[in-house]
Amino acid sequence: MTPRLIAAVSITSLLLAAAPAFAQSQLPRPGQLPPAGGQGAPPQRAPTAQSQQQPQQQPVAAAKPYKPVTITAPEMVKDPSFEAFRKQLGAIAEKKDRKALAGLVAQNFFWLGEKGDKADKKRSGLDNLAKAIQLDGKEASGWEMLGAASADPTGMPFPDRKDTICAPADPTFNPQELEALAKATGTEEGDWAFPTQTGLEVHSGPQPNSPVIEKLGLHFVRVMQDQNAEPGPMLKVVTPAGKTGFVPAEALSPLGSDQLCYSKEAGGWKISGFAGDDQ
């Protein structure tokens, strides 16, 4: 599948601010990226004058019943020292303490994009992290992302680096089944997300207190968000029964979100990398 970048580590930030991004495909994960220099990267078509003036929108497939593709929840990191590190990171993010954050960032910080490592090796690890997730500037949304990352207990191994994990971790599932599900429903794989908890309640309307029409298990659920709609706390979904309803945005996670990577060194855990485009 053609790689693309979904801008967010935070489940909440991603789904509230960039819900339409579900209609695109997935971010390449560590170990799946082409080498520096861009070999293996898909060719990009130059936009025409017409496409620049009027972006084309793909028609939305109608809601219909589907056979759920089950998942196994992402693995939690069992190392107690990682939990202590996350608490420390959360406190730093809350205070926006750049000096304290510098002590948690590895000097050999990597920044993986579609064309390989984007990190400037002449700059500090903190400088590269700041540019990757936007710690500076008026909005400085990277601090919110660090806070959300500190609350995520999951992690998946980085295949090419010893003692390195990246988060948020993906669930375990059968990729062929998800591909078949997307084909059967006339959707894209990027239209599907998974609940962060079992028994997630689906409401009849976008109000959190609206009646519950169904509960979801641990399986992929179709997100049917109107691309012209304003971001809000609830997302429109299609249940396996073919019903449309609404769930809290923070209760769903997409595949392929940007990841922070961590390495365990002699002095403790460090933020050692970022996989994704700059925010």
What is the Cα–Cα distance from 12 to 82, expressed in whole angstroms?
22
Burial 84-109 (b: 16+ CB within 10 A, else e): ebbebbbebbeeeeeeebbebbbeeb
Of 189, 175, 195, the closest CA to residue 22 belongs to 189
- What Å distances lie between residue 183 and 30, 190, 194, 221, 253, CA to CA? 26, 12, 18, 14, 21
Write down the pLDDT at residue 39. 33
CA distances from 75 to 44, 78, 154, 207, 222 (A): 35, 9, 5, 32, 23
pLDDT, average across residues 46-70: 69
User: Of 85-89, 180-184, 195-199, 237-241, which range is least confident?
Assistant: 195-199
- HEC string of 171-225 equals CECCHHHHHHHHHHHCCCHHHEEEECCCCEEEECCCCCCCCEEEEECCECEEECC
Q: For position 66, what pLDDT does the model report?
A: 97
> Left if phi > 0, otherwise alpha if psi is -120 to 50, otherwise beta: which for 158?
beta
Task: Name the segment(s) of the chain with CATH classification 3.10.450.
Answer: 80-170+258-275
The residue with tokens 């972006």 is 55
The answer, as to whether pTM is greater than 0.85, is no
Topology at the third CATH level for domain 80-170+258-275: Nuclear Transport Factor 2; Chain: A, (3.10.450)
Mean pLDDT of 164-177: 94
Render pLDDT for 10-42 as a digit per residue (tens, 0 to 9): 333 334 343 333 333 333 444 443 333 333 333
* Separation between Cα atoms, residue 260 and residue 142, nearest integer Å: 11
Residue pointed to by tokens 């399986």: 219
| Start-end of CATH 2.30.30.40 domains in the chain | 19-30+61-74+171-254
- Fold of the domain spanning 19-30+61-74+171-254: SH3 type barrels. (2.30.30)
Phi (first) and psi of residue 272, to 5 degrees: -110, -5
Structure tokens at 261: 């990577």
pLDDT digits (tens, 9 = 90+) for 214-258: 999 999 999 987 666 666 789 999 999 999 999 998 899 888 778
**Prior bond of 30 cis (ω within 30°):** no
